[in-house]
Amino acid sequence: MTASQPAHENATYHEIVSQPGAWRAALEVLRDRAPDLRALWSRSAPQGVVFTGCGSTYYLSLAAAATFQTLTGVPARGVPAGELVLYPAATYVPGQTLLVAVSRSGETTETVEAVHRFQREGRGEVVVVTNYPDSTLARLGAVPVAIVAGQERSIAQTRSFASMYVATTALAALLAERADLLGAMDGLPEVGERLIADGEDLARTTGADLALDRAYFLGSGPRYGLACEANLKMKEMTLTHSEPFHFLEFRHGPKAMVGPTSLVVGLLSDEARAHEAAVLDEMRGLGPRTLSLGEADTDVAFASGLPAPIRNVLYLPVLQLMAYHRARAKGLDPDKPTHLDAVVRLEWGT
């Protein structure tokens, strides 16, 4: 498969552009599991929530934890699954914890081992979010949330990530008893389809600009985890130097790397827009190409009319397409990133 082949011949492309259907399916699955999730939440009464995964799903966990804590008021953290196994004392606190384990395949060794250890130590209940209902991890969860429509052929996560992220956002709205937010999420797929159609030309021209040799993704709050994920897609698919940062942190040293061959991408919020936009404006004065995403008055404007806490998935499709088109422009196969496997399985000693 080469850059000259039609985009539709790449599994990755199909998975990106079809993802709004998987978002819709994620909401259906979450609603179907809602009675079990509410019952688990009530009986366990956790003092804290830990979201965990590896690679993309660790970044998903960062974003999910920020949204969960904001909506429920219950302390939540996103932690790599390997860290939960190697350094549990650095994460868990006394009392019951809800562990939300996220894995596309449900077979990632560190995540499975983290859940085994969590359960052996009696730390609390486990909810699993995955795309494979018959996986090892799904069988370990007290309540599995399995979004089959998010399954993928390609190695780099796009549709799977977005579908599981929608599910964790809906989980937060559900357990926060925010029926208004959960209902509003039904509007996401239609907006996503429009964004994909309207934003592809910009994604293609930006991604295919090979004069750009590095990319920086800026996001704060729940959008920091999404900036990390967009950065990972750029690394995996395109082998381009890329880094994520919190907006205000970018001034504290990293901006020294910015120049005419840089791309600086800003995931702008509503609540902190003035401060975030000021960082992007300052960087623009240093000569890089910039790309802004947000609800309005940005290069990629959602114009969704949806509540801010539930629309963050809208940042993903155009950035995924940008990485996809850059891979093709560089003659790389976006379906098969260098050195990577779809599932990391390890021989894990006890």
Q: How far apart are CA 326 and CA 90, in angstroms?
A: 39
**Do the Cβ atoms of 132 and 106 come closer than 8 Å?**
yes
H/E stretch holding 117 reads: helix 109-120
Q: How far apart are CA 334 and CA 348, in angstroms?
A: 30
What confidence score (pLDDT) does residue 29 get? 98
Q: What are phi and psi of 275, to 5 degrees?
A: -70, -40
Tokens describing residue 178: 């925010």
Question: What pLDDT, on a 0 to 100 scale, did the predictor assign at position 74?
Answer: 97
Three-state DSSP class for residue 260: coil
* pLDDT score for 334: 86
Per-residue pLDDT reduced to its tens digit, 227-238: 999 999 999 999
- The predicted pLDDT at position 151 comes to 97
In whole angstroms, give the CA distance from residue 117 to residue 188: 36
Structural domains in the chain, CATH included, are 7-177 (3.40.50.10490), 188-329 (3.40.50.10490)
Using 70 as the pLDDT threshold, list the residues of the chain that sit under it: 1-9, 337-346, 348-350
**pLDDT tens-digit series, residues 98-127:** 999 999 999 999 999 999 999 999 999 999
Distance (Å, rounded) from C-alpha 164 to C-alpha 225?
14
Q: Distance (Å, rounded) from C-alpha 127 to C-alpha 138?
A: 9
Give the span between the Cα atoms of 25 and 61, in whole angstroms. Answer: 20
pTM of the model: 0.94
Task: Report how far residue 246's alpha carbon sits from residue 227's, in angstroms, rounded to the nearest whole number.
Answer: 8
How far apart are the C-alpha atoms of 79 and 58, rounded to whole Å? Answer: 7
**CA angle (295, 231, 301) in 5-degree steps:** 15
231 vs 226: CA distance, rounded Å: 8
What does the pLDDT read at residue 3?
Answer: 43
